[in-house]
Amino acid sequence: MDASPARAQACQWFHHAIHYREATMNKILSAVATMIVALGAHAQEPHPPWSYEGASGPAHWAELDMAYKQCKFGKHQSPINIDTSKAVKAALKPTAFAYKSSKAKVVNNGHSVQVNLAPGSAVTIDGVNYALVQFHFHAPSEEQIDGKPYPMVAHLVHKDAQGDLAVVAVLFKEGKEKAALKPLFANLPQKAGETGKLASFDPAGLLPSGSGFYQFTGSLTTPPCSEDVLWRVMKTPAEVSPAQLAAFRKLYKMNARPVQPLGDRVVQQSQ
């Protein structure tokens, strides 16, 4: 029997199989590519806007985006009311501030005025070094002391080498002009998205005279409300003049999240 026809038939079948396999792989690769493009487009989509009032206010943050779910379901949220009678005295190490002057970019981000600082300033807390990244303001203060807010607070946001955050909160009461804030508040960016520059700013000028503090674990006070943030709220308030307060309130009359349940947390205080 001649094997040539059988060999030709086998070759034809083999070529068909190869063609079918290539076509199938091309379909799979095309589907994967489409999925990647779709995922990439989704990742680049901006998060929906949020605010401090109405349908996009704090009570609805978790409804605006799945990325904001901690704002509703988190158990250790910030800010909180600090009941001084229940704050436990503890042998906490002082905050080792190592701030220095640097260039700064001032940003009106649509929610507050934020000052982004050049690298160089840091704090050490319990042996961990945290670089100062930025600070911003809330009026009135988000943190309350025995049920009462202060006119304003500055949140100084720090990050360690692992990306963990530590926030130092400096409360402000009305009084004398804060010299450190004079060049900043004299030229605040007036509209969301506007920026400005400071040739030199020393964040040490924001700190109050006292070094005592309250400490607790909390979260970011704005979406996405991420938790496991170390908070130190300075006990002694700094002073700010009525004119300086008015300059900020002209931009943001109220940009404070309501206080959140303390839950199972214990607020410690330095001795």
Looking at the annotation, which residues are catalytic? 111
Structure tokens at 238: 């700094």
Nearest to 170 by CA among 201, 123, 125, 212: 212
**204 close to 97: Cβ distance less than 8 angstroms:** yes
Q: What whole-number distance in Å separates Cα of residue 221 and Cα of residue 133?
A: 16
Structure tokens at 104: 């700064």
Q: What whole-number distance in Å separates Cα of residue 264 and Cα of residue 271?
A: 22
Alpha helices (H) along 203-270: 242-249
Instruction: Give the list of residues 6+ apart from residue 196 with CB closer than 8 angstroms, or none.
Output: 105, 106, 187, 188, 189
The torsion defined by the Cα of 136, 106, 180 and 98, in degrees rounded to 10, comes to: 70
Dmax (CA) of the chain: 111
Q: What whole-number distance in Å separates Cα of residue 63 and Cα of residue 58?
A: 10
CB burial of residue 1 (10 Å; 0-12, 13-18, 19+): exposed
**235 close to 169: Cβ distance less than 8 angstroms:** no
Using omega within 30 degrees of 0 as the cis cutoff, is the peptide bond preceding 79 cis?
yes
